Chains A and B, each alone.
Chain A
């Protein structure tokens, strides 16, 4: 599923964005990626979906050798992933259902298939009555659910969610966590990056903890901490 071996990432202004990370996430796990702001959570995600290349180390995701992946193969890695971004990246001029449909259209899905799957995804996240609303007409929680619906409509093997509860109320955050659990129960591996300690305490799961680019803790048995 995910395997990182001695992975480091250095930027000019941050030579230890990630340093010597070795970890493994098995299929079907629900795992928190914890760490304060700047700990390297987003960088780690970017390495997993090949937005960035590691400075050193090996990364395998869903059978793809990500560190050596040719640029033209990157889209095919991403088709096995669901990505929920911190800033959501919803399209402001498209309605909720169009936002979901767009993710299928651009992969060449048939029109009928697009309509059917987009409606299913809306129902899945409880937005079936809000399909014709623009993102700006949705609440923060609804926008988050819409972003999740778009991420899972392509039936991903692995879902990477970056701070999905960041700006939400406790009630809305709980709804989102329940939604991720529901997705995980269907078989999708979920990695949820957060710095919300309260959330982790309320909904305990296995966790990976990063601090200043280094792996501080990996709690679950399948995780191999250290080098």
Chain B
């Protein structure tokens, strides 16, 4: 101490050293995590479970949405015409229907074509159909909708417009199942959001509680740090790192477990039902979505830490 004590000034008196201290912060954060392994394991487990449940909802929602879009792409509205139209009125009708924003494509099918199609579909009744005194089948317009209108709302809107056209006698559109499916999706969305909100809130509470206990466990050190002149950000930093780590690890662990569960689902459930689902490819989360889940973990960790640091670490 020959050249140290009593020289005056105080070492680092105006020093804001923060750079190069990351190692210290991470060591402290790691110490916080390991000094109470059971508590931290429970916290991590809770975060993982929360994100797992959210992930299941997300995958279910995304795949249902994909399936709906896939099926929606096959929606056709068929408008049956009242009688035979000559070329000019038919062209005007086509122009009019094509002018509707919902309509992407129109295919005209004459009475003759309709009969021919029926004969092809029912070859065993071919003779019977040919024996009819006159062709009973109407001419029709088979209408395909633009992507954004391939839903029950879009179909209903188009049908309303078609009903205002006098040349059109009847309209067929099979959207009952579509409406039911849309309702199911809305329910899924509401459930996912409601449950998700609750789980996220619970996660914040769990993280905040763990950080509170960490602060409590280190209260003596914090007192010493304050008394020797450690700055507020310096004292808080390890707790933020701890919370961020917990949130991030919990989210990443959830994605890993979710992936394993998804693989089991593919082999046990999806493969046997593949044909029924129209060979729609079941999808896992994209890289961006997985990154978003990890980011969500970080954000929750930050919030959870903020709650406790704000309340229990007044410096």
Q: Measuring CB to CB, which residues of chain A are less than 8 angstroms from any residue of chain B?
A: 27, 49, 62, 71-72, 75-81, 83, 85, 89, 91-92, 102-109, 117, 120-121, 123-124, 150, 152-157, 183-188
Residues of chain B lying within 8 A (CB to CB) of residue A108: 12, 15, 17-18, 20-21, 234
Q: Measuring CB to CB, which residues of chain B are less than 8 angstroms from any residue of chain A?
A: 1-2, 4-15, 17-18, 20-21, 24, 220-221, 223-232, 234-235, 315
Q: In whole angstroms, how far apart are the Cα atoms of A105 and B238 in the complex? A: 14
Smallest CB gap from B227: residue in A: A83
Residues of chain A lying within 8 A (CB to CB) of residue B224: 89, 91, 102-103, 106, 150
Q: A76-B13, A80-B13 are in contact. Are A155 and B5 (CB under 8 A)?
A: yes
Q: In whole angstroms, how far apart are the Cα atoms of A202 and B17 in the complex? A: 44
Which listed residue, B4, B13, B220, B234, touches A91 by the CB 8 Å rule? B220
In the assembled complex, how far is the CB of residue A30 from the closest CB belonging to chain B, in whole angstroms?
A: 12
In the assembled complex, how far is the CB of residue A79 from the closest CB belonging to chain B, in whole angstroms?
A: 4
Which listed residue, B1, B24, B221, B227, touches A124 by the CB 8 Å rule? B1
Which listed residue, B4, B5, B14, B228, touches A106 by the CB 8 Å rule? B228
Smallest CB gap from B21: residue in A: A108
Interface-centre pick from B10, B12, B223 (highest chain A CB count, 10 A): B10
Tell me whether B221 and A49 are in contact (CB under 8 A).
Answer: no
Given contacts A72-B232, A76-B229, A89-B227, 20 further A-B contacts (CB under 8 A): A72-B231, A75-B226, A77-B229, A79-B11, A79-B229, A80-B13, A91-B220, A92-B220, A104-B11, A106-B228, A108-B15, A109-B11, A121-B5, A123-B1, A124-B1, A152-B5, A154-B11, A156-B10, A157-B9, A188-B6
Q: In whole angstroms, how far apart are the Cα atoms of A154 and B228 in the complex? A: 8
Residues of chain A lying within 8 A (CB to CB) of residue B234: 106, 108
Q: In whole angstroms, how far apart are the Cα atoms of A89 and B223 in the complex? A: 8
Q: In whole angstroms, how far apart are the Cα atoms of A49 and B18 in the complex? A: 23
Q: A107-B15, A108-B15 are in contact. Are A155 and B228 (CB under 8 A)?
A: no
Smallest CB gap from A154: residue in B: B11
Tell me whether B227 and A78 are in contact (CB under 8 A).
Answer: yes
Q: A89-B220, A89-B224 are in contact. Are A187 and B6 (CB under 8 A)?
A: yes
Smallest CB gap from A124: residue in B: B1
Tell me whether B6 and A183 are in contact (CB under 8 A).
Answer: yes
Smallest CB gap from B8: residue in A: A157
Smallest CB gap from A92: residue in B: B220
Q: A91-B221, A107-B17, A121-B1 are in contact. Are A75 and B7 (CB under 8 A)?
A: no
Tell me whether B229 and A186 are in contact (CB under 8 A).
Answer: no
Residues of chain A lying within 8 A (CB to CB) of residue B223: 89
Residues of chain A lying within 8 A (CB to CB) of residue B11: 79, 104, 107, 109, 154-155
Tell me whether A187 and B7 are in contact (CB under 8 A).
Answer: yes
In the assembled complex, how far is the CB of residue A190 from the closest CB belonging to chain B, in whole angstroms?
A: 10
25 A/B residue pairs, CB under 8 Å, sorted by A: A75-B226, A75-B229, A78-B226, A79-B11, A79-B14, A79-B15, A81-B10, A83-B228, A89-B224, A89-B227, A106-B228, A107-B228, A108-B18, A109-B17, A117-B4, A120-B2, A120-B4, A123-B1, A150-B224, A154-B12, A155-B9, A155-B11, A157-B8, A186-B6, A186-B7
Residues of chain A lying within 8 A (CB to CB) of residue B229: 75-79, 81, 107, 154
Which listed residue, A71, A109, A124, touches B12 by the CB 8 Å rule? A109
Smallest CB gap from A190: residue in B: B6
The 8 A-B residue pairs with the shortest CB-CB distance in the complex, in nearest-first order: A186-B6, A108-B17, A79-B229, A78-B229, A80-B10, A124-B1, A187-B6, A106-B230
Residues of chain B lying within 8 A (CB to CB) of residue A184: 6
Tell me whether B10 and A120 are in contact (CB under 8 A).
Answer: no
Q: In whole angstroms, how far apart are the Cα atoms of A121 and B4 in the complex? A: 9
Q: In whole angstroms, how far apart are the Cα atoms of A49 and B10 in the complex? A: 14
Residues of chain A lying within 8 A (CB to CB) of residue B10: 62, 79-81, 154-157
In the assembled complex, how far is the CB of residue A103 from the closest CB belonging to chain B, in whole angstroms?
A: 4
Q: In whole angstroms, how far apart are the Cα atoms of A176 and B199 in the complex? A: 57
Q: In whole angstroms, how far apart are the Cα atoms of A78 and B157 in the complex? A: 73
Residues of chain A lying within 8 A (CB to CB) of residue B8: 27, 155, 157, 187-188
Residues of chain B lying within 8 A (CB to CB) of residue A157: 8-10
Q: A71-B315, A108-B20 are in contact. Are A155 and B6 (CB under 8 A)?
A: yes
Residues of chain A lying within 8 A (CB to CB) of residue B5: 121, 124, 152, 155, 183, 186, 188
Interface-centre pick from B4, B9, B315 (highest chain A CB count, 10 A): B4
Smallest CB gap from A156: residue in B: B10
Residues of chain A lying within 8 A (CB to CB) of residue B17: 107-109
Smallest CB gap from A62: residue in B: B10
